[in-house]
C-alpha cells in the first residue's frame, strides 16, 4: 500500500502533463569521432521539454509545432549547441554532430565536484570503473568488480558470512561508501553494505583516494567509493532481463541449489518530463565445501573453510521528474538477505544446532537539482535507512524430529539501526575562474537491541565550504574546511583541506593535496556488548574520533599518440598518519574482558602507477603498486623496520572482434607477500616477522552480442583456483574470525554463463 501511495502522485502528474497537438521529433547525436553520444542533455529552449540520448545516441522529443530551438549540453561544461528547426509534423531530423569526443563524454565525474565535469578538470585524483567494464566482468556483487582494482583487498569473515574492504592499506572503517552521494549504513565498522548493493543498478563506480572528510565527513580517511546508479530518461519503454549461472568451485546443481544463481528483471519508462524505473534482482549463493545437514560436530569442525549459503532479494523503485532547469527523484532500495549456518549433530544427544542471520534493509532517497540560473545551482539529498539484523538459533532433535529455539546467551537477537541523512549544497559560479560551494549536512543514527546499551542516538551537524579558484591558466586551487558538532563523541571541530592542480604541459598535470581527516567511532563500538560462551567484548562510550593527516600527489599524463596507439599514465603517491586509532584492548581491572580504546597510531605510504594503452580494437591497462603498512613495534624495537611493503601488479586486456560483435577481456592482479611483526615472547620482547603469502587472481570473460538486444557472457573466474592463503602468524590476519594458519580468500575457480536481453521502444 505504501508503494502505491508513492507512485500515485507521479502518475497523476504524468496524466495531467500530457499536452495536446504535439508533434514528435526523433534524432541522433554523434560525437566528433563518429560514435553515439550517450547521456547527453537535450531540451527545447524556453520550454520544460527535456530528454537524454540513449546508448545509440538516439532521442525523442514531443514539441509544439513551429519554430523550435534545441539546446544540447554534454554535461561536461564544454559543449552547448543550438539547432534551429521548423516543425510542422512528426519527423526524423539529420544526425547532430557534437564538438566533443566519445572518450571525453565517458570521463564525466561527480564525486566531490561543484558540478559534473570532465575527469581531466577535477582537482581530485578519481579512478572510474565504467558500466562497460562492470557488465563484461559478469560480476554479481561489487566485491567481484573491485577484486582486480589496484590497492584493493577484501577480508572474508566466514563465521558471519560477510566481507570487508581494504584500500591502500586501510580497512573499510576508513572508507566512505556512497550511493549517488548518500552514505550507506553499516551495523558495524566493516563495510558489508558494499555487497548489499544491486550490481544491475550501477552505471559506474568512482573511487577517490585520499581523505575527503571536508566534503563527506566521517570515515572518508582512506577515500570514497561512490556508486553512481543508472537513470533512464531517454527511452519511452526499456525492458531488460538477465539470467546468470555460475559454479562454486567444482560444485553446481541447479535443482539442489548448488552454485550461484543470479536473476534480474528491470522495466524503465520515460515520457516528456517524467520517468520511472523498477527492478528486482535475486542472488542465490548455495555455499561451498559444506558438510551435509546430518553431519556430526566433529565432521563440521574439521572443515575450516566453509562458505555459508546466502540468499539475497533486492528491489528498486525510482520515480522522477526532470525538466531543463529542475529535477527531482525518489528511490526505494530494499534488501532481504539470509545467511545459513550449520553446527552439526551432537553425538551424545543427537541434537543439531542451526543458525540463520537475516538482514532487512530499506533505503529511501530523495534528490533534487535546481539550476536557478547560469551561476547558481542548489542541490538537496535526503536519505532514510532502516537496517535490521536478526540472529535466530534453532535446535533440532533428530530423535523426535522436532525443533526448538536455543536459550543460550547471545543466540537469539534482533538489532535495529536507523539513519537519517540530509545534505544541501549551493554552487555559485562567481566568475569563470572562481566558484564556491557552501553546504550543510545532518546525520542522525539510532539503534536498539538486546546487546546494545539503552537506545542510543547520535546527532552529527556539519557546515562545510570549498572554493575553487584558477588564478592562472595553468593553476587550480581548491581550499576547503568543515566545522563539526557531534552530540556524543569528541569530534574535531575544524577539518581543513587544500587541493591543487597544475597543468605542466597540454597533456601533463600534477595534483598535490593535504587534508585532515577523521573517523567517528561506530555506534557499535560505543554501545554494543557482545557476550557469549567464548567472548566478552564491551563497548566504550568514551571513545574519541580517530584523526589523520594525509599528503597525496598525482602526476597524470593524459594522452600520448604514437601512430594509431594512444597512451595514458597516472602515478600517484600517498602518506597517511593516524592517531587516536580505535583498537581492542584488555580491561585493566578484568583481563577476561575486552574493550575498545583510542590507543593506537598507524601510518600508510606508497605509490601506484597505472598505464593505459589503446588501439582501435585493443585496450590494455598495466600497473604496479608498492604499499607500506606501519609496524607499531618499530618505535620500541630497533630491529623492526617502520614499514612492511607489499608489491602488486595489475592489469586487464580487452580485445574487440567487431566482425563477430564479440569482446574478450582478461583481468589479472598479482599481489605479493604481506608482512607484519609480532611479539612471540612478551618477557624477552622477542619479535618475529609473520606474513600472508601472495596470490595471483585472474578472470577471463567472453561477451557476444546478437541483434543489438541479446548478449551472452561466458567465462572463468579465479583462473588460478585460489582458495586459501598461508598465514604464518595471526597478527597479519585479515579479520576477527580469521584462522591463524590460513586466510580464506575464495571458493576456487568457477565457470560462468549468462544471458541478457534488452528491449527499447523510442
- Residue 97 CA to chain centroid, in angstroms? 34
Each residue's pLDDT tens digit, 367-421: 999 989 888 999 999 999 999 999 999 999 999 999 999 888 778 889 999 999 9
- Residue 295 CA to chain centroid, in angstroms? 38
Each residue's pLDDT tens digit, 618-666: 999 999 999 999 887 777 777 778 888 999 999 999 999 888 889 999 9
Residue 463 has pLDDT above 60, yes or no: yes
Question: Any idea which of 99-103, 141-145, 668-672 has the lowest mean pLDDT?
Answer: 99-103
| CATH fold label, 107-761 | Maltoporin; Chain A (2.40.170)
CB 109 within 8 A of CB 185: no
Contacts 24+ apart (CB under 8 A), 160-164: 160/339, 160/357, 160/737, 161/307, 161/308, 161/310, 161/339, 161/341, 161/357, 162/190, 162/192, 162/195, 163/192, 163/194, 163/195, 164/190, 164/191, 164/192, 164/735
Q: Global pTM? A: 0.87
- Looking only at Cα atoms, what is the longest distance across the chain? 92
pLDDT band at 249 (very low <50, low <70, confident <90, very high): confident
> Distance (Å, rounded) from C-alpha 254 to C-alpha 257?
5
Residue 344 has pLDDT above 80, yes or no: yes
CATH superfamily of the domain spanning 2-105: Immunoglobulins (2.60.40.10)
The domain segmentation of the chain, as residue ranges, is 2-105, 107-761
| Residues 6 or more apart in contact with residue 667 via CB below 8 angstroms | 137, 147, 148, 652, 697, 698, 699, 700
> Distance (Å, rounded) from C-alpha 374 to C-alpha 179?
27
Q: Who wins on pLDDT, 266 or 642?
A: 266
pLDDT band at 74 (very low <50, low <70, confident <90, very high): low
pLDDT mean over 255-266: 92
The whole-number pLDDT of residue 9 equals 44
Q: Who wins on pLDDT, 338 or 588?
A: 338
Q: Which CA distances in Å does 132 have to 55, 232, 659, 703?
A: 11, 16, 19, 11
Which candidate, 672, 605, 599, places its Cα nearest to that of 643?
A: 605
Amino acid at each position: 500500500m505504501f508503494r502505491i501511495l508513492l507512485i500515485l502522485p507521479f502518475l497523476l502528474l504524468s496524466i495531467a502533463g500530457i499536452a495536446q497537438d504535439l508533434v514528435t521529433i526523433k534524432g541522433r547525436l554523434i560525437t566528433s569521432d563518429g560514435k553515439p553520444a550517450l547521456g547527453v542533455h537535450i531540451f527545447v529552449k524556453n520550454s520544460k521539454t527535456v530528454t537524454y540520448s540513449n546508448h545509440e545516441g538516439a532521442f525523442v522529443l514531443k514539441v509544439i509545432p513551429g519554430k523550435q530551438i534545441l539546446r544540447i549540453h554534454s554535461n561536461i561544461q564544454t559543449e552547448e549547441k543550438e539547432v534551429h528547426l521548423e516543425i510542422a509534423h512528426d519527423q526524423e531530423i539529420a544526425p547532430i554532430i557534437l564538438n566533443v569526443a566519445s572518450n571525453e563524454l565517458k570521463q564525466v565525474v561527480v564525486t566531490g565536484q561543484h558540478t559534473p565535469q570532465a575527469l581531466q578538470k577535477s582537482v581530485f585524483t578519481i579512478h572510474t570503473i565504467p558500466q562497460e567494464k562492470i557488465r563484461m566482468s559478469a560480476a554479481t556483487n561489487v566485491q567481484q568488480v573491485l577484486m582486480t582494482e589496484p590497492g584493493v583487498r577484501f577480508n572474508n569473515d566466514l563465521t558471519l558470512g560477510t566481507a570487508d574492504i581494504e584500500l591502500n592499506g586501510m580497512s573499510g572503517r576508513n572508507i566512505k561508501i556512497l550511493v549517488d552521494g548518500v552514505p550507506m549504513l553499516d551495523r558495524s565498522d566493516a563495510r558489508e553494505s558494499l555487497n548489499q548493493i544491486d550490481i544491475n543498478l550501477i552505471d559506474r563506480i568512482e573511487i577517490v583516494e585520499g581523505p575527503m572528510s571536508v566534503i563527506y565527513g566521517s570515515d572518508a580517511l582512506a577515500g570514497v567509493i561512490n556508486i553512481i546508479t543508472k537513470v533512464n530518461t531517454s527511452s519511452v519503454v526499456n525492458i531488460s532481463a538477465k539470467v546468470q549461472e555460475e559454479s562454486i568451485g567444482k560444485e553446481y546443481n541447479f535443482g539442489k541449489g548448488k552454485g550461484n544463481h543470479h536473476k534480474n528483471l528491470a522495466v524503465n519508462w520515460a515520457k516528456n518530463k517524467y520517468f520511472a524505473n523498477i527492478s528486482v534482482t535475486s542472488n542465490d549463493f548455495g555455499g561451498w565445501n559444506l558438510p551435509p545437514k546430518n553431519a556430526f560436530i566433529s565432521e563440521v569442525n574439521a572443515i575450516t573453510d566453509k562458505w555459508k549459503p546466502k540468499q539475497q532479494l533486492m528491489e528498486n523503485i525510482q520515480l522522477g521528474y526532470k525538466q531543463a532547469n529542475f529535477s527531482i527523484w525518489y528511490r526505494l532500495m530494499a534488501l532481504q538477505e539470509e545467511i545459513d549456518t550449520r553446527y552439526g549433530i551432537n553425538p551424545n544427544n543427537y541434537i543439531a544446532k542451526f543458525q540463520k542471520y537475516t538482514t532487512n534493509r530499506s533505503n529511501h532517497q530523495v534528490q533534487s537539482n535546481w539550476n536557478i540560473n547560469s551561476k547558481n545551482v542548489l542541490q538537496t539529498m535526503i536519505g532514510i535507512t532502516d537496517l535490521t539484523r536478526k540472529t535466530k538459533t534453532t535446535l533440532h532433535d533428530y530423535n523426535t524430529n522436532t525443533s526448538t529455539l536455543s536459550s543460550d546467551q547471545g543466540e537469539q537477537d534482533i538489532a535495529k539501526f536507523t539513519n537519517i541523512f540530509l545534505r544541501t549544497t549551493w554552487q555559485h559560479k562567481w566568475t569563470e575562474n572562481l566558484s564556491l560551494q557552501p553546504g550543510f549536512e545532518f546525520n542522525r543514527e539510532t539503534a536498539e537491541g538486546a546487546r546494545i546499551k539503552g537506545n542510543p542516538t547520535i546527532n552529527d551537524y556539519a557546515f562545510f565550504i570549498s572554493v575553487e579558484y584558477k588564478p592562472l591558466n595553468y593553476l587550480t586551487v581548491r581550499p576547503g574546511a568543515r566545522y563539526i558538532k557531534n552530540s556524543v563523541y569528541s569530534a574535531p571541530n575544524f577539518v581543513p583541506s587544500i587541493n591543487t592542480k597544475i597543468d605542466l604541459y597540454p597533456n601533463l598535470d600534477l595534483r598535490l593535496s593535504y587534508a585532515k581527516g577523521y573517523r567517528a567511532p561506530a555506534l557499535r563500538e560505543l554501545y554494543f556488548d557482545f557476550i557469549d560462551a567464548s567472548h566478552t567484548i564491551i563497548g566504550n562510550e568514551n571513545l574519541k574520533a580517530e584523526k589523520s593527516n594525509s599528503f597525496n600527489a598525482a602526476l597524470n599524463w593524459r594522452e600520448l599518440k604514437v601512430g594509431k596507439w594512444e597512451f595514458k599514465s597516472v602515478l600517484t603517491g600517498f602518506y597517511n598518519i593516524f592517531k587516536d586509532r580505535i583498537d581492542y584492548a584488555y580491561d585493566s581491572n578484568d583481563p577476561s574482558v575486552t574493550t575498545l580504546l583510542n590507543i593506537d597510531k598507524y601510518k600508510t605510504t606508497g605509490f601506484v602507477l597505472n598505464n593505459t594503452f589503446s588501439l582501435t580494437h585493443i585496450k590494455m591497462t598495466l600497473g604496479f603498486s608498492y604499499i607500506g603498512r606501519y609496524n607499531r613495534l618499530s618505535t620500541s624495537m630497533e630491529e623492526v623496520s617502520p614499514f612492511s611493503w607489499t608489491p602488486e601488479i595489475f592489469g586487464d586486456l580487452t580485445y574487440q572482434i567487431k566482425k563477430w560483435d564479440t569482446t574478450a577481456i582478461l583481468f589479472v592482479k598479482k599481489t605479493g607477500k604481506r608482512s607484519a611483526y609480532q611479539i612471540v615472547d612478551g618477557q624477552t620482547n622477542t619479535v618475529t616477522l609473520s606474513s600472508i603469502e601472495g596470490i595471483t587472481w585472474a578472470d577471463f570473460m567472453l561477451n557476444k552480442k546478437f541483434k543489438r538486444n541479446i548478449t551472452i557472457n561466458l567465462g572463468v573466474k579465479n583462473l588460478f583456483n585460489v582458495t586459501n592463503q598461508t598465514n604464518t602468524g595471526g597478527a597479519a590476519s585479515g579479520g576477527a574470525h580469521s584462522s591463524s594458519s590460513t586466510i580464506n580468500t575464495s571458493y576456487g575457480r568457477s565457470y560462468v554463463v549468462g544471458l541478457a536481453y534488452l528491449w527499447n521502444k523510442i
